[in-house]
Structure 1
Amino acid sequence: MRKYIIGAIFGFLVATAVGARAEGVKSLIGEVIDGAFNVKVDGKELADQAVVIQGTSYLPVRAIGEATGYDVAFDPNAGIELTKKADEVAEQPAEQNPNIVRAQRIEELRAKSEEIKKEITGLYQTVRKYMSLEMTDPQSIDQNDYQAAKKAWEAKKEELAAVNKEIAELTGRPVQD
């Protein structure tokens, strides 16, 4: 009987200790993002945006760290660690700093991706119009124009995939369309 009582007390202590540790961790899962804002470091805009949730701004730690000359590491036990890179990299002019050049390239690619998406939307609407006409009035379709629109649409989708692949390689995470 004594073992059961000691076991129950021990179990209670462990359960409350774990609960007390978890109390300090605030979950943001399911919270609404109030806004997203561009972030500039030394006048250079980062590819990743900051978000505001319940009046608190959350910055992209990796992007900030890398843009300011830090290596960023994550350990589930220790958390996020920023370590200063060698001084010669951090002191380089912005156009020579590989982190800033990388961030600028990502930004260029994201802008190109948005342009391509707009073009794809326009081409899709054209192809869809031809498809609709093909069903209702096939004689009124100029097949050369229809095939050209389909080819252009497919080519733009391939171009978008290539741009998104490069973005994913530079950022280390997949691009969501």
Structure 2
Amino acid sequence: MKKSFIVGFFAGVMMTASVSSFAATSSVVGKKVQGEFTVVVDGAALSQKAVVIDGSSYAPLRSVGDSTGYDVSFEDKTVAFTKKTEVANSTVSENANELTAINQELLALTMKLKIYSEEVNRLETEGRANPDKQKEISKQIEDLNVEYDPIASKLKTLQARRDELQKQINQR
């Protein structure tokens, strides 16, 4: 009788200890999912659903974080949400838009300078062929150079700005 009492006592202690240790953890493993729900953020449904277990809702954290503008990281049993920097994203977007505009302007200016160069070459050839028109042709070339120089200067300024923007975009 004494032996059965001791065995019963130890069995009771073991069961109590195992139930207590199980209750101390908050695992949802093996528990019944009571429902699934669509998660909607700013009118857009996430691809993953939230679930309800024992009256608590569990949502897919990475999906929720990404859709609300947060970076989500998991380290040392901790979930960390960090606000994404919209300034950096908008700056890159603004730089890309400015870069596109500069590239278009560079193309137009380059074409314009090419036309000026071709016209100067044509006039120089004409001047060699017609020495009597040399004075008139020299004046035309001088007028073209007056227009050419500011465009060439602006072209260099835009190229420098383009290179600076491209560097900023590549660093992000």
Identify the structure with the greater strand proportion: 2
| Higher gyration radius (CA) | 2
Tell me the TM-score normalized by structure 2. Answer: 0.44
Identify the structure with the greater helix proportion: 2
